[in-house]
């Protein structure tokens, strides 16, 4: 049996695990790894493990002790650290690695959108776009907006926050993708949102962006960090084609 480690935390990782187990389960053991950031346990085909490895060195040890033959990094484009660690660990342990990395969105020129380099730039810019802002960049980014003045935030999080958010004026809306277009539009209308802030995450265009464009709202996008070097594909079927070459 060959052993594949999928670094997950995304819908693409789940779809890849399912495709690999369904097609090659008699010759391939598939382990999907999750960081464990959200409360809900992952529901994924094959074996799973949850929690950090302990840096690049810990991941290198894991690859060796678990006799992993090849790795697919299907993490989110903004999960910069784990992708760097995967690169370094696979080089050290001489394990083949592929990145399943989403294609950037092709946004309509008619849409009102602006891309900035990072969260700090988004925080500096957002007050120019309005005073009622829908912030959808995730719990780890909320701190970056703590000094923004004269803005009320609707903050979308997957789980309710354990502690109050570091924002003077805000309300939390919990939810988990996929979202419904009608519901996204209604949420923005109900809260009289002036502008949306989102990571420029690539892949399928999310309903929140479509809804914001339909409502004529400006969308402030934060660009993803550059991925580490290495082979890269952007679709699950391309990743599966690579998997077949490895077994
Ligand atoms: P990150 O900053 O790149 O990673 C921080 C640490 O979390 C890593 O050093 C690693 O700990 C652990 N980790 C991350 N992904 C892991 C995985 N798949 N399996 C085991 N350990 C993992 O990551 P992040 O931005 O916090 O994202 C965490 C996870 O959520 C990722 O798996 C990502 O795919 C998913 N996700 C992230 C976003 C986002 O916007 N960042 C959005 C949707 C989903 P050790 O150093 O101890 O190994």
Q: What is the pLDDT of residue 84?
A: 98
Which pLDDT band, with edges at 50, 70 and 90, does 10 fall under? Answer: very high
Determine which residue's CA is closest to atom 16 belonging to ligand 1: 35
The sheet carrying 219-222 orders its strands as 113-116, 219-222, 195-199, 132-135, 152-157, 170-174
- What is the arithmetic mean of pLDDT over 225-247? 97
Domains 2-101+227-245 and 113-222 share a fold: yes
Distance 106 CA to ligand 1 centre (A): 26
Q: In the structure encoding, which two tokens stand for residue 171, read together?
A: 């309300």
Distance 35 CA to ligand 1 centre (A): 5
**pTM for the complete prediction?**
0.94
Distance 2 CA to ligand 1 centre (A): 25
Distance 10 CA to ligand 1 centre (A): 10
Q: What is the CA radius of gyration of the chain?
A: 19
On the question of pLDDT at 110 being above 90, the answer is: no
> Model confidence over 184-225: pLDDT tens digits?
999 999 999 999 999 999 999 999 999 999 999 999 999 999
On the question of pLDDT at 90 being above 70, the answer is: yes
Question: Does 228 sit in the ligand 1 pocket, CB within 6 Å?
Answer: no
Q: What is the pLDDT of residue 43?
A: 87
On the question of pLDDT at 48 being above 70, the answer is: yes
Determine which residue's CA is closest to atom 22 belonging to ligand 1: 35
Q: In the structure encoding, which two tokens stand for residue 73, read together?
A: 């990094």
- What is the arithmetic mean of pLDDT over 81-102? 98
Question: Does 37 sit in the ligand 1 pocket, CB within 6 Å?
Answer: yes
Which pLDDT band, with edges at 50, 70 and 90, does 42 fall under? Answer: confident
- What is the arithmetic mean of pLDDT over 174-180? 93
Which pLDDT band, with edges at 50, 70 and 90, does 108 fall under? Answer: confident
On the question of pLDDT at 171 being above 90, the answer is: yes
On the question of pLDDT at 87 being above 80, the answer is: yes
113-222 CATH fold:
Rossmann fold (3.40.50)
On the question of pLDDT at 39 being above 70, the answer is: no
Closest CA to 5 of 22, 15, 17: 17
Which pLDDT band, with edges at 50, 70 and 90, does 128 fall under? Answer: very high
Question: Does 81 sit in the ligand 1 pocket, CB within 6 Å?
Answer: yes
2-101+227-245 CATH fold:
Rossmann fold (3.40.50)
Do 75 and 66 contact (CB within 8 A), yes or no? Answer: no
Question: Does 102 sit in the ligand 1 pocket, CB within 6 Å?
Answer: no
Closest CA to 225 of 159, 127, 141, 150: 141
Which pLDDT band, with edges at 50, 70 and 90, does 62 fall under? Answer: very high
Question: Does 13 sit in the ligand 1 pocket, CB within 6 Å?
Answer: no
On the question of pLDDT at 149 being above 90, the answer is: yes
Domain ranges of the chain: 2-101+227-245, 113-222
Distance 37 CA to ligand 1 centre (A): 8
Distance 46 CA to ligand 1 centre (A): 20
Q: In the structure encoding, which two tokens stand for residue 50, read together?
A: 């949850």
């Amino acid at each position: 049996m060959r052993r594949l480690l999928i670094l997950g935390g995304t819908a693409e990782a789940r779809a890849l695990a399912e495709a690999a187990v369904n097609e090659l389960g008699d010759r391939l053991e598939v382990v999907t790894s999750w960081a464990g950031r959200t409360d809900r346990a992952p529901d994924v085909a094959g074996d799973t493990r949850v929690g950090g490895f302990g840096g690049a060195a810990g991941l290198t040890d894991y690859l060796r002790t678990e006799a992993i033959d090849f790795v697919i990094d299907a993490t989110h484009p903004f999960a910069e650290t784990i992708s760097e660690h995967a690169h370094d660990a696979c080089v050290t342990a001489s394990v083949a690695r592929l990145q399943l990395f989403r294609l950037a969105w092709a946004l309509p020129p008619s849409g009102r959108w602006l891309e900035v380099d990072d969260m700090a730039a988004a925080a500096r810019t957002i007050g120019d776009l309005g005073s009622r802002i829908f912030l959808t960049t995730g719990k780890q980014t909320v701190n970056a907006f703590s000094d923004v003045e004269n803005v009320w935030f609707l903050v979308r999080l997957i789980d309710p926050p354990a502690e109050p958010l570091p924002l003077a004026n805000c309300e939390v809306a919990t939810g988990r993708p996929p979202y419904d277009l009608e519901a996204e539009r209604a949420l923005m209308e109900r809260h009289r949102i002036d502008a949306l802030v989102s990571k420029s995450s690539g892949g399928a265009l999310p309903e929140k962006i479509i809804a914001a464009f339909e409502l004529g709202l400006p969308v402030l996008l934060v660009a993803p960090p550059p991925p580490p070097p290495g082979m890269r594909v952007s679709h699950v079927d391309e990743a599966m084609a690579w998997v077949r070459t490895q077994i």
